[in-house]
């Protein structure tokens, strides 16, 4: 049975690769992430394909611009009928609040359920050395929590953050706030370009609501076996 806490990242470049992976995983995965690499290469047809398979979709395009541009961009993307969008929390309160308000207004006018809107806090690839090179003085974790609270005040449904900050966000923002965590690496798999990582069960225990998992699934010799192993690990959490 599928577990909606797992979002499989389709970090590939062709629709044929998508079809092959979705076919292999079958009913074990219901939620997929479509990011920049795939969406820019294939376009909306990947959304159409996934919806034809009754899959749920996190469209991970990380919008970050002036408030009106972000809000209008999200309204344009709403026509695809995906389940989750994201923006960068560092765009600030006005950008976040306008995005949240206007996407809800547009959904109401269209008579559809509004998609969830979540905000990127600090990318999980960022380590303390890179962080300090930007002139930042507070620790990454402190800024992640600050951005999570800002996003919640602005009316967003949740944030994207690493598993290491999930417990602090959960404490600060409550039980109903979404915490979507990339940087999830099952034990025995490589970190690749992720710096702040955790195993799946650990991430959920820390307070994550959903886990985005890419390479440990699609690059595995047997993707279906990799998913089954992850599902077995988190079943008791």
Catalytic residues: 62
Nearest residue to 226 (alpha-carbon basis) of 188, 183, 181, 196: 188
Nearest residue to 99 (alpha-carbon basis) of 58, 168, 150, 50: 150
The CB density around residue 61, as the number of other CB atoms within 10 Å, is 16
The answer to whether 49 and 81 are in contact (CB under 8 A) is: no
Nearest residue to 177 (alpha-carbon basis) of 192, 195, 161: 161
> Counting Cβ atoms within 10 Å, is residue 218 exposed (0-12), middle (13-18) or buried (19+)?
buried
- CA separation for the pair 95, 91 (Å, rounded): 6
């Amino acid at each position: 049975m599928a577990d909606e806490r797992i979002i499989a990242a389709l970090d590939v470049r062709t629709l044929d690769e998508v079809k092959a992976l979705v076919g292999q995983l079958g009913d074990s995965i219901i939620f997929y992430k479509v990011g920049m690499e795939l969406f820019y290469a294939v376009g909306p047809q990947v959304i159409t394909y996934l919806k034809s398979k009754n899959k749920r979709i996190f469209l991970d395009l990380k919008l970050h611009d002036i408030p009106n541009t972000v809000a209008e961009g999200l309204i344009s993307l709403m026509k695809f009928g995906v389940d989750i969008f994201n923006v960068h929390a560092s765009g600030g309160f006005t950008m976040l609040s306008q995005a949240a308000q206007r996407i809800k207004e547009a959904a109401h006018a269209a008579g559809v359920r509004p998609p969830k809107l979540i905000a990127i806090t600090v990318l999980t690839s960022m380590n303390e050395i890179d962080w300090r090179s930007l002139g930042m003085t507070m620790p990454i974790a402190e800024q992640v929590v600050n951005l999570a609270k800002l996003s919640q005040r602005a009316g967003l449904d949740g944030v994207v953050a690493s598993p290491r900050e999930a417990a602090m966000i959960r404490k600060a923002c409550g039980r109903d706030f979404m915490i979507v965590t990339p940087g999830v690496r099952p034990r025995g798999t490589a970190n690749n370009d992720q710096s702040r990582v955790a195993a799946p069960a650990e991430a959920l225990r820390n307070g994550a609501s959903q886990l985005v998992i890419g390479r440990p699934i699609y690059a595995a010799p047997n993707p279906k076996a990799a998913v089954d192993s992850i599902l077995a690990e988190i079943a008791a959490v």
